[in-house]
Structure 1
Amino acid sequence: MDDFSPSDLKTILHSKRANMYYLEYCRVMQKDGRVLYLTEAKHENQYYNIPIANTTVLLLGNGTSITQAAVRMLAQAGVLIGFAGGGGTPLYMGNDIEWMTPQSEYRPTEYVQGWLGFWFDDNKRLQAAKYLQTARIAYLQQVWSKDKELIAEGFVFSASTIQTALERFTQRTSAAQKSAELLLTEAQLTKVLYKFAANNTGLADFSRQHQTPKNNIDKANDFLNHGNYLAYGLAACTLWVLGIPHGFAVMHGKTRRGALVFDVADLIKDAIVLPWAFISAKENATEQEFRQQVLQKFTDHKALDYLFDTVKNLALMSFSEPSDVLIENATIENTQQSPEEGDAS
């Protein structure tokens, strides 16, 4: 055991790691070769272990501090660190969605090279954006068609409202000539999904607010914001492991350094974060209960696997085919995917 080092922990692939942690009002430190967090109880201090071998992202909220030794061990294990406000939102420097990323020079190069191979061509970048939008709907169908809890709450993929909206979405996505049209089509679909979810959960007066004021009692908006940042964490992890910089977005603003994180996170937000934000608000759940529910659903529906598979397929895709063929191929088959290169020590 004397020869064991934190870098050995990276043999667990990121797509197979189960945990994203949010901590607040504690001190994160290294002790006896482990990463712990310390909380101050009334009569004594309490230490809790963080299983860094099985962790993808660590979000540090209000009242937290972290030691240099702990950061070093987390980096060696390939864990991304983000600093957030209370409850996980907002992510500070949230306009960029920046993370403290482990500095590894051994990440694969094929994915960033493949990504840049199409990124500077406007037409190919538009095709890539359409591919992501179609893969997003494929995941929505995959989750809503088999999750019994969602179906019991009325989130049924075959509902006429959803099918009508998706038919319109598919037609407009296929016909779009620029990314701004895709963003408009996306916004229209999201509005329908919000209304569908609000009606299902008895929150008919819902209005989307991306920045909710303090002491706000609108839990649905709070949970949407909170869950979205969890999705950003998984997206940032995916891009870091594959070595693709966050600035090479295909839909969101190309002048925003973290815009690709938004693009990738969108693949899973509608399918998981959106319905559970409304369901949790209806049940008057706490932030912790909502967070645990969403993270469990990420695991149940292999969200991180889906992000890796989709981004890898897109990075290595041949754009010699017509865009409609690429869109048809956007449903990812997870069973035959290779593990993400560069993840093992």
Structure 2
Amino acid sequence: MDQLSDLKAILHSKRANLYYLEHCRVMQKDGRVLYLTEAKNENQYWNIPIANTTVIMLGTGTSITQAAMRMLASAGVLVGFCGGGGTPLFMGCEIEWMTPQSEYRPTEYVQGWLSFWFDESKRLNVAKEFQQQRIQFIESVWKKDRDLQEHGFYTDDLDISKTLNGFAKKIPAQTKVGDLLLAEAVTTKQLYKIAATRTQIKDFNRNPDEGDLANDFLNHGNYLAYGLAATTLWVLGIPHGFAVMHGKTRRGALVFDVADLIKDAIVLPHAFICAKEKMTEQEFRQQILQKFTEHKALDFMFNQVKNAALSSFNEGQIT
């Protein structure tokens, strides 16, 4: 038990690493999890600091041993198999993770979540709060991120402030989740236009299958955000099926809801900036992971989900 306790010493909300691996073999060796890359003349081993890792995404040409999975599970690391470049996660476009088995996660969060989830009006109120927090996170990140400001992303610019303030004013008036989703989609489309204008990318159209750099980077960054969201929900013990925004019957829908808290603030602008600068996929991935850490995206996700669950659990209602 001492070894397992040591592995879990770092809270998930404070962990720094999210890995995408390809063309390698993940294994356990001498009490550590390693990945092996095969070269012509020699094999190289690289250590994975599992106690400080949230998610491992295994891409093209990867395999993993049972012993490695056992250690990853003991450290509470989620594992997902995906296509080249991190997208898509297999099982279609759904969010499916191999999650560690644990009967000792907290109970108050799932109990709090379920105490409001079956009431449509309370569920809508949580969805609205998520959207308000999403806007506030965009404003917070864009006000202090110098890389974004160097490319013209200022929250007090007319088009940006008009988009964010307009959405914020619409949120309280929505009476159905479908209407809220529509307003959110319109806002995100406007943010795409703003980002495309700032980075001088002409004729951009959001299409995951388009194949241009901006769309590919959006796909890739979004799946990284899904990994953090899945980790958040697993640690708090809330099943992915109890969504507040996306379809109630869609597998993994709550993962999308939680990932949406941070996607527009971090993934969206950097996908366009990195596309403009013609970065490689690896360079883009490093940029996004650095920004997740810099702006404490995982902390933010944890806080929002915990607040939504506990406000209901402690007060018996969502206000």
TM-score class normalised by the smaller sequence: over 0.9
TM-score normalised by structure 1 residue count:
0.90
| Alignment check: 8 A CA contact 1:95 1:256 kept | no
Q: Secondary structure at the match of 1:43?
A: coil
Q: Which runs of 5+ in 2 are unaligned?
A: none
For the 8 Å contact 1:95–1:258, the answer to whether it is kept is: no
AA partner of residue 163 (structure 2)? A
3-state SS, counterpart of residue 11 of structure 1: coil
* Superposition pairs of residues 74-223 of structure 1, within 5 angstroms: 74-212=72-210, 216=211, 218-223=212-217
Of the structure 1 ranges 64-73 and 201-210, higher mean CA displacement relative to structure 2 is found in 201-210
1:7 Cα offset (Å): 4.5
Query: What is the match of residue 267 of structure 1?
Result: 261
TM alignment of 1:1-345, pairs within 5 A: 5-212=3-210, 216=211, 218-318=212-312, 326=319
Q: Distance in 2 between matches of 1:36 and 1:192?
A: 43
RMSD (Å) for aligned C-alpha atoms? 1.5
Amino acid paired to 1:183: L
Q: What SS does the aligned partner of 2:290 have?
A: helix
Q: Distance in 2 between matches of 1:13 and 1:322?
A: 29
Per-residue deviation, residues 247-280 of structure 1 (Å, max 9, x unmatched): 0000001001200000000000000000000000
Which sections of structure 1, spanning at least 5 residues, go unmatched? Answer: 327-345
Q: CA deviation at 1:205?
A: 1.2
CA distance in 1, matches of 2:250, 2:312: 26
Number of residue equivalences: 318
Identity fraction in percent: 70
How many angstroms apart in 2 are the aligned matches of 1:122 and 1:137?
Answer: 23
Helix, strand or coil: the match of 1:57? Answer: strand
> Cα distance, 1:46 vs. partner?
0.8
Q: Secondary structure at the match of 2:241?
A: coil
Q: TM-score, normalised by structure 2?
A: 0.97
For the 8 Å contact 2:78–2:100, the answer to whether it is kept is yes
Give me the whole-angstrom Cα distance separating, in 2, the residues matched to 1:137 and 1:166.
Answer: 7
Following TM superposition, by how much is the alpha carbon of 1:4 offset from its aligned partner in structure 2, in angstroms? 5.3
**Compared with structure 1, are the counterparts of its residues 94 and 269 closer, same or farther at alpha carbon in structure 2 (3 Å cutoff)?**
farther
Distance 1:318 1:35 in 2: 40
Structure 2: distance between partners of 1:148 and 1:141: 13
Instruction: In structure 1, give the amino acid aligned to 2:108.
Output: E
The separation in 1 between residues aligned to 2:142 and 2:165, in whole angstroms, is 17
Moved over 2 A (4+): 3-8, 318-323
Superposition deviation, residue 159 in structure 1? 1.1
Deviations 1:27-68 (A, max 9, x none): 000011110001111101111111101100000000000000
Q: Is the 8 A contact 2:241 2:252 kept in 1?
A: yes
